[in-house]
Chains A and B, each alone.
Chain A
């Protein structure tokens, strides 16, 4: 597609439920990134994919968070047993390797009630 697409754009879930966030990167972009932005905070790196592998998972805040990428394209970020502190905007970005810059999606606003 022309840009990075994320779905849903908004998600309200009850505490303790699992959620899945989807990112569809720009076609041909081999690198995919997930970031989190809490209210009034900066961007927090979560995980990075090169193709289908994740060389850097250092930003995942707990074992409730996981992510996968299939076919070198779509990625899913899963949060299990959601907590209120998981409420944030989750942003996905993709990039060509080499000298490409990042292109961000519009994000998924997650609210845990």
Chain B
């Protein structure tokens, strides 16, 4: 059974820091991996999608990597801003089409 774990559960950093969020999964047979952002009381916003054949994806200050063989992904946020404060969710899509989520990392960026 696929399990997705995110570390740390919570993170507080001063504005301007670069930071890394970690995601690990137990079964390497994944179709793709997607990072989402969730603001309090809101739905999920897709940040980056990495196909199983890819190693990384970049969008602005965000960079996500995927090492399928070791079951790991990282989300790198450069020059963090208070507006980046949110919960970040990692999810893997298996070959049945189901998306399996981690518990999330709640990020607070202090001005």
Chain A positions within 8 Å of B, measured between CB atoms, are: 31, 33, 35, 42-43, 45, 48, 50, 55-56, 91, 93, 95, 97, 99, 101-107
Contacts and interface: CB of A to CB of B under 8 A. Distances in A.
Instruction: State which size class the interface on B falls in.
Output: 20 to 34
Contacts of B101: 35, 42-43
Given A33-B99, A93-B99, A43 B89 contact: yes
Interface in B60-111: 89, 91, 93, 96-104
Contacts of A31: 97
25 contacts: A33-B98, A42-B101, A42-B102, A42-B103, A42-B104, A43-B89, A48-B97, A50-B97, A55-B96, A56-B96, A91-B43, A91-B44, A93-B44, A97-B97, A99-B31, A101-B34, A102-B91, A103-B46, A104-B36, A104-B44, A104-B45, A104-B46, A105-B43, A107-B42, A107-B43
What 5 A-B pairs have minimum CB-CB distances, sorted nearest first? A101-B49, A104-B44, A106-B43, A43-B101, A42-B103
Main secondary structure of the interface of B (DSSP, over half): strand
B24 interface: no
Contacts of B96: 48, 55-56
Contacts, number: 53
Contact of A56 (B43, B49, B51, B98): B98
Contacts of A35: 101
A61 B49 CA distance: 29
A101 B103 contact: no
Main secondary structure of the interface of A (DSSP, over half): strand
A26 to B, nearest CB: 12
A1 to B, nearest CB: 15
Counting chain A CB atoms within 10 Å of each CB, which of B36, B91, B99, B101 scores highest?
B99
Contacts of A103: 46
A96 to B, nearest CB: 11
Contacts of A43: 89, 91, 101
